[in-house]
Amino acid sequence: SGSSAYWKEGVLYQLYPPSFKDSDGDGWGDIGGMLEKVDYLAELGVSAVWIGPVCDSPMEDNGYDIRDYYKIHDAYGTMEQMEELIAKLHERDIRLILDLVINHTSDEHPWFEASRSSKDNPYRDYYIWKPAAADGGPPNNWRSFSEESAWEFDEATGEYYLHIFDKKQPDLNWESEKMRRDLYRMITFWLDKGVDGFRLDAINMISKHPDFPDAPEDARHPRGQQFYKNGPRIHELLRELHDETFGRYPGTLTLGEAPTVTMDEVVRYTAPERREMDMVLQMELIRLGKDFGDPWKTDPNWSPVTLKESIVRWYEEVFGRGGYALYMSTHDHPRMLGTLFGDLSGKGGEAAKKMNDAAAKAIGTFLHTLPGTPLVYQGEELGMPNADYRSPGDYRDKATIAAYKRRAEKGEAADDVLASLHARSRDGARSPMHWTGGEQAGFTSGTPWIPLNPSGREANAEDERNDPASVFHHYRRLIELRKQSPVPARGALTMIPLEDEWMFAYIRETKDERWMVLVSFSDQERECGVHAEWARLAEAGELLVGSAPVQAGASGAGTPFRLENGEYRLRLLPYQSAVYRLP
Ligand code: TEU
């Protein structure tokens, strides 16, 4: 890992295979489509691309249910294309990070078919089987992420198996050394293919409490999580995993998805001397506006002030001691643009586009000027808004469809349910990528597996690459800045105190260079008092990157600082952002 690891200086890109680019007209993104867009990724300037799972799968969870770790899913292409993608990315000095799903497999995986066939099958203990409770029901009261029992009864052997996700995703039993060895063999196979690292799916859930005790009936969703998230043997298992695989391939990047890991636990998972993982994908920033206790509720009283608190805690408690990927968008949560930030009227049109562009640039400026490693989720660099699907039939995610049905049957008003789907369903982030403003946004020549976003089409790669003021070029500039200066990746962070919680101002500095970052997360023009020293510094500063209206240097029109009656005021336009290099 070392201090000069590329991933500490660079930017990661998350590519969601089903929705990235379809090259053969079957409506599904595929590796052929990825090959077509390697130059696009190189132009954006990202250092590594994390692609979601592309192994053979029945696609119950869009590939997070693996049936064969050694075969590429037919709809995505062939192993030869995979090898070509690795080579082509490497030619452009971009690394490939594979999604590694090893907390569970598909129930159609041969291991599970053997395991369920009989109690004394050698693969029986590759999974977690338990007899029924005394009342004949599930072994305990745990519930899955899909809000049903976490146990599925299997007739053949009259026992239940554990699945903390969908029932077609049985959890692997990490207490079985034989199973672990099979996984290590598979990971080594992919490392020998030349992949540069892995994003480890739900990796902090692999160690379950050996007694599988009941959780309190009113425990937070998903009930029972306290007995498998950051479980009793998690660190020794991750250490063994590291030493048996990644540790033997120096420079391999490991990015662990660890949903409930708290800030102070990040160091235990990612400090180099721990020999576990390099970085975690923690959920603190993306939680904004969501009631994580209920998958379908939003938090009406949200405020970006929690972002300020998180980054200060991250900087003070973790930075320099552990690895942290910064993201506010991914395939598992609606895009913040169009749900929390940007144009929320749903009216569309020029004004909406302007508001969305400014908000997209504000989010990008915030993430890319913080300590840590920013992650760009496909479409975020274009300012693609959350899909505003208008009918339940537009959704594809199993948990979303089940929730809609359940709530409609309970008689909940259809509009209310649709509104909560728009605000919380992960399908909002999964609408196909916009490559052009034309037919099917240039994603496919066929019928896409999920409808395109009915709006937001003006945010597309082709138009934006030809518009220097576009969100795309704003992201390209932010990524370029990260390559030109050590300030964003390694500089110290000092918040500038402002009494307005929607306005952010902070300093990032090394001994040689000092930046000031200003960001408004508000759709209104706002202003507040600011200490004279900061205003004077910015007045003499050089604008490195800013959102429209682009300030002509620190003293031109639109300068955020004003001197009024001897007091300095900071005034920001809706979602205005600016980065100054200070004298
Ligand atoms: O997500 C694991 C996870 O932490 C869940 O909270 C996830 O965010 C939730 O299922 C969202 O509805 C990973 C993958 O990112 C997700 O796409 C998969 O569905 C899940 O694991 C099972 O593989």
Half-sphere exposure of residue 206, counting CA atoms within 13 Å on the CB side? 32
Q: How far is CA 23 from CA 28, 130, 384, 435, 447, in A?
A: 8, 45, 21, 13, 12
For atom 2 of ligand 1, the residue with the nearest CA is 202
Q: Closest ligand 1 atom, CA of 399?
A: 12
- Supply the ipTM of this predicted assembly: 0.96
pLDDT score for 580: 93
Instruction: Give residue 424 CA to ligand 1 midpoint distance, Å.
Output: 13
- What residue ranges in 36-105 does DSSP mark as E strands? 48-51, 55-56, 68-72, 95-100
Contact 345, 66 (CB under 8 A): no
Per-residue pLDDT band for 548 (boundaries 50, 70, 90) equals: low
Per-residue pLDDT band for 540 (boundaries 50, 70, 90) equals: confident
Q: What is d(CA 477, CA 44) in angstroms, rounded to the nearest whole number?
A: 9
Residue 147 pLDDT > 70, yes or no? Answer: yes
The encoded tokens of residue 461 equal 């790669």
Instruction: Give the whole-number percent of the chain exceeding pLDDT 70.
Output: 97
For atom 14 of ligand 1, the residue with the nearest CA is 201
Active site residue 68: no
Instruction: Give the whole-number percent of the chain exceeding pLDDT 90.
Output: 87
* E strand or H helix that includes residue 129: strand 129-130
pLDDT score for 4: 60
Residue 461 pLDDT > 60, yes or no? Answer: yes
* Ligand 1 proximity of 145 Cβ (cutoff 6 Å): yes
For atom 7 of ligand 1, the residue with the nearest CA is 332
Across the range 314-331, mean pLDDT stands at: 93
pLDDT digits 0-9 by tens, 2-50: 446 889 899 999 999 999 999 999 999 999 999 999 999 999 999 999 9
Q: What is d(CA 320, CA 436) in angstroms, rounded to the nearest whole number?
A: 41
Active site residue 201: yes
Lowest mean pLDDT among 94-98, 352-356, 510-514: 352-356
Per-residue pLDDT band for 563 (boundaries 50, 70, 90) equals: confident
Which residue has 């998690």 as its token pair? 234
Q: How far is CA 456 from CA 232, 300, 577, in A?
A: 46, 24, 21
Instruction: Give residue 225 CA to ligand 1 midpoint distance, Å.
Output: 13
Per-residue pLDDT band for 198 (boundaries 50, 70, 90) equals: very high
Task: Compute the C-alpha angle 328/10/287, nearest 5°.
Answer: 15
pLDDT score for 541: 87
Instruction: Give residue 474 CA to ligand 1 midpoint distance, Å.
Output: 30
For atom 8 of ligand 1, the residue with the nearest CA is 332
Mutate to test the pocket of ligand 1, among 69, 98, 145 (most ligand atoms within 8 A of CB): 145
pLDDT score for 1: 38
Query: Under 8 Å CB-to-CB from 244, ≥6 apart: which residues?
Result: 180, 184
Residue 552 pLDDT > 50, yes or no? Answer: no
Contact 461, 434 (CB under 8 A): yes
Tell me the DSSP string of 234-274: HHHHHHHHHHHTGGGSTT-EEEEE-TT--HHHHHHHH-GGG
Residue 549 pLDDT > 80, yes or no? Answer: no
Average pLDDT, the chain: 94
Residue 550 pLDDT > 70, yes or no? Answer: no
pLDDT score for 270: 96
* Ligand 1 proximity of 259 Cβ (cutoff 6 Å): yes
pLDDT score for 2: 42
Across the range 222-251, mean pLDDT stands at: 97
pLDDT score for 558: 54
Q: Closest ligand 1 atom, CA of 295?
A: 12
* Ligand 1 proximity of 101 Cβ (cutoff 6 Å): yes
For atom 23 of ligand 1, the residue with the nearest CA is 64
* Ligand 1 proximity of 332 Cβ (cutoff 6 Å): yes
Residue 458 pLDDT > 90, yes or no? Answer: yes
The residue annotated as part of the active site, out of 56, 196, 257, 394, is: 257
Residue 51 pLDDT > 70, yes or no? Answer: yes
